[in-house]
């Protein structure tokens, strides 16, 4: 993934003009993550935080504590971008029907 691709998703984020609101402390993070609900780039955001081990703030709807727990639980994953973003997009020419059958 190029540097341009890595940052282009931020243009579509619901929080693009409210960064300070997503870096509260403690239990206020749970309230802050409501901004992420329905965000079109939520997976890209979460992958960015997990791949880069970003320790602060709410990213992709997950708090600092939730991300740390996920990283501890899945140390085998080298690229969260591949898991969360690329795996969610069906390959060209593949139609996914309701119920997950193609």
pLDDT in tens, 75-94: 999 999 999 887 776 544 54
**Would the pTM count as exceeding 0.85?**
no
- Cα angle for residues 58, 12, 61 (degrees, 5° grid): 20
Helix (H) or strand (E) holding 94: none
The average pLDDT across 26-39 equals 84
Q: Which residues are annotated as a binding site?
A: 15, 36, 39, 45
Long-range contacts of the stretch 18-26 (C-beta < 8 A, 24+): 22/57, 22/58, 22/59, 23/56, 23/57, 23/58, 24/58
**Residue among 50, 46, 53, 56 at smallest CA distance from 26:** 56
Model pLDDT for residues 52-80, shown as the tens digit of each residue: 999 888 999 999 899 999 999 999 999 99
Confidence grade of residue 10 (pLDDT, cut at 50, 70, 90) = confident
The whole-number pLDDT of residue 19 equals 66
Contact 38, 25 (CB under 8 A): no
Q: Which residues are annotated as a binding site for [4Fe-4S] cluster?
A: 15, 36, 39, 45
Q: How far apart are CA 62 and CA 99, in angstroms?
A: 27
pLDDT at 97 over 60: no
């Amino acid at each position: 993934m190029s540097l341009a691709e890595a940052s282009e998703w931020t243009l579509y984020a619901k929080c693009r003009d409210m960064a300070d609101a997503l870096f509260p402390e403690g239990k206020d993070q749970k309230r802050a993550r409501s901004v992420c609900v329905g965000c079109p780039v939520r997976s890209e955001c979460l992958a960015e935080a997990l791949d880069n081990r970003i320790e602060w703030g709410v990213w992709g709807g997950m708090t600092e504590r939730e991300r740390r727990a996920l990283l501890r639980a899945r140390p085998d994953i080298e690229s969260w971008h591949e898991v969360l973003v690329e795996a969610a997009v069906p390959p060209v020419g593949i139609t996914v029907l309701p119920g997950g059958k193609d």
